Structure 1
């Protein structure tokens, strides 16, 4: 599927996590070039990153799972990456074991409370609960996201344990004048079965980019329930691309099992990224730092750390 930055600040003792974001404010300062580096995940159409979840960190090394929106047999769907900010990304393709090979995977997140268990979602709204062990991802269950519209194209999915309840948020990406539709519901993963409660929906428009717009190219939920959303401009396989990360709203689970979803009328732009199509984001645990992943089509994919994870 076809589809800069806060003024750089270094974390004490962890200079490799320095990453520049472009402020909306007029006064800007250039970050050191080494801190602006995107690290390649491969070249060509099949090497992009369409979804990501950070799985661990050891010193400067960040481990993550990435999904790819590939469609043909023999093309990689899921990979493990070990990424050193600004330096290298080692990418190890994983074997997908299930009845059917997924087409156009766009998002992945962990299942809270179930180590090694994840949910990956394809653009048509098909979800896959997978267990990852070694070099293999085994499909435990497949499901269809509820409440989707006829023309929806899903590019994100996130899970969070909120107030003792498991909450899922997903979104149609939107296109230009059509805003993204963001959905939220209680989720349940019991054994090999998946279920969802009543679905709440809201619309989202990004203030940036302004042309060839995908209003929601990925989404994650922070520790406090904030919704972080990436948006992207995609004029074609050769770009030029542009992206933003937004503080878009909040999700909350009530004691009665209902889920409230607030989307800001004017989402706050946390950073903009020129020349890349951000389709994946994930926060480092207990940190304001996170990792961005891109699907730059013919130019392949890339990773970069940035300070965008609001509490």
Structure 2
């Protein structure tokens, strides 16, 4: 029943709502956006983080996804395969090398290291992972804690990029209603699992307006541009609402100083009613991205998109 209701709602709501309130219906895009595709039923099957797995071929694209489950025996990682004209293939993966973490909320691939990823929990613990060659599971290579993590924070975003030949991490506390989200950026030495001095900036999403998580994920484009997803969460049965923003950029100067610039007025990229977006990723060498949702009792869904947040800006 949940699946039937969810699919009916997804069919009705699978559209990107233009963010200009004054835009007339006649001026809106007429092309049909990609539909949401369900990748799990129930509260343990949401998508809280997503990263592309290299090696797409014949239109097939593989992804590694994180799930924010907390109890023993519940799945933490899964593989998703998207194929044109076919439903997604979803396969739970094993967790090896450490005790399974609680509440994974973000995931990104390590640039230049195929098969390696970093997942982050809501408490700020990072897991450096290597995906098995046969994608049967992932092994923990090491762990770290992001600088300044406190019990008052609730991290939901994590991203990696290479700038000026340096590995830079961006992570984000989600904020709540009147408390903005906070973006942090620093150089990351993944071999030692240590960070340089972090810089921070506040981010306030103009929409959604209530029960809002100002940052539900963050990703970095090839140009260094920061895309932030924001979401409202009124409870396990929703209703949910989400938006994407061009939030600013991360740069590294010639001396290796990491700089984080956040727009005072973030540029809206789209609204996504009926879903709680908690994950986004870009495909390597393409202007196509994938959004993932954690819709609690309604499970998880993904959809592809072209352009922002994955096009050069």
Q: How much has 1:150 moved relative to structure 2? A: 4.0
Gaps of 5+ in 1: 1-18
Cα 1:77–1:199 shift into 2, 3 Å: same
- Report the counterpart of residue 128 of structure 1 in structure 2: 127
Does the 8 Å contact 1:20/1:306 carry over to 2? no
Q: What SS class does the counterpart of residue 102 from structure 2 fall into?
A: coil
Does the 8 Å contact 1:37/1:86 carry over to 2? no
- Report the counterpart of residue 43 of structure 2 in structure 1: 45
Whether 1:119 and 2:114 are equivalent positions in the alignment is no
- Report the counterpart of residue 147 of structure 1 in structure 2: 148
* Count, aligned residues: 290
Give distance in 1, aligned partners of 2:116 and 2:61: 19
Cα 1:149–1:31 shift into 2, 3 Å: farther
Q: What is the TM-score normalised by the length of structure 1?
A: 0.89
- Report the counterpart of residue 3 of structure 2 in structure 1: none
Give distance in 2, aligned partners of 1:131 and 1:31: 42
Q: How much has 1:20 moved relative to structure 2? A: 5.0
Please identify, of 51-60 and 271-280, the stretch whose mean Cα deviation from structure 2 is larger.
Answer: 51-60
- Report the counterpart of residue 22 of structure 1 in structure 2: 17
Q: What is the TM-score normalised by the length of structure 2?
A: 0.89
Cα 1:274–1:31 shift into 2, 3 Å: farther
Whether 1:304 and 2:303 are equivalent positions in the alignment is yes
Q: How much has 1:31 moved relative to structure 2? A: 4.8
Q: Structure 1: which 4+ aligned runs deviate by more than 4 Å? A: 30-33
Give distance in 2, aligned partners of 1:196 and 1:27: 48
Gaps of 5+ in 2: 1-13
- Report the counterpart of residue 169 of structure 1 in structure 2: 170
Q: How much has 1:112 moved relative to structure 2? A: 1.4
1:230-287 deviation per Cα after TM superposition (whole angstroms, max 9, x unaligned): 0000010011100001100000012222100001111111010000000000012233
Q: What SS class does the counterpart of residue 44 from structure 2 fall into?
A: helix
1:94-148 deviation per Cα after TM superposition (whole angstroms, max 9, x unaligned): 1101231100001111111222111111000000001111202111101111123
